[in-house]
Copies of this chain bind each other. A is one copy, B any other.
């Protein structure tokens, strides 16, 4: 049996990020991605030009229909878009007690371009961090959410919002190596990966979904984090130029 993973995220027509990345990663790693689309974006491999959020009543009916039919082994959250959708997600998570939640607190596309209303960070911290077992912000997102600068300050601040494990990724830095830092109650653990040339579309979505798939398959958190980072590294190594902008990761594993 393959585990079902409930993905709540945005749609990117270019196929690089959003539910495309989630579906490909979860599919490749042996799970089923069921998806609720929070927002339809207007974007290509170069940038985000806009988005429209999905009607809350439709999301509620879709969620109810899914939950009647499937059991879920993990939830992965990406783009949320608005405080109203974040509150809907919080209510939905309360119907799934004990199911691990992996939160990728998306605020903007990797090439820039906002993917949510101004008040999204506050709602994420108040509603979703306390319900997640793992959050995976990149450094700019972590700093904006925490209102603190630097990886240590941001990590320690975010831990106090009730999510017991916060992985801050260093893809947006300019160091020779990409350093990813896990902040947990009793430890900080780092992973270091060679920085690959180029800019990639959807690497954050891919990482969070790979984590969700591996956690759904029963791997312990640190093993899931190590294996999912390795999976993303291979996907980026094999990325290719599908459009005129960022490279698209090859998520076939």
Contacts and interface: CB of A to CB of B under 8 A. Distances in A.
A181 interface: no
Contacts of A42: 58, 61-62, 65
Interface in A40-55: 40, 42-46, 49-50, 52, 54-55
A55 B32 CA distance: 28
Contacts of A28: 27, 252
Interface in A150-175: none
Contacts of A1: 240-241
Residue of A49, A241, A242, A248 with most partner-chain B CB within 10 A: A242
Interface in A120-165: none
B243 A70 contact: yes
A40 B58 contact: yes
Contacts of A66: 13-14, 44
A52 B58 contact: yes
Contact of A44 (B24, B27, B37, B68): B68
Interface residues of A, number: 47
A36 interface: yes
Interface in A6-28: 11, 13-15, 20, 23-24, 27-28
A247 B13 CA distance: 27
Contact of A20 (B33, B50, B54, B243): B33
A94 interface: no
Nearest to A71: B243
Interface of A: 1-2, 4, 11, 13-15, 20, 23-24, 27-28, 32-37, 40, 42-46, 49-50, 52, 54-55, 58, 61-62, 65-66, 68-70, 240-245, 248, 250-252
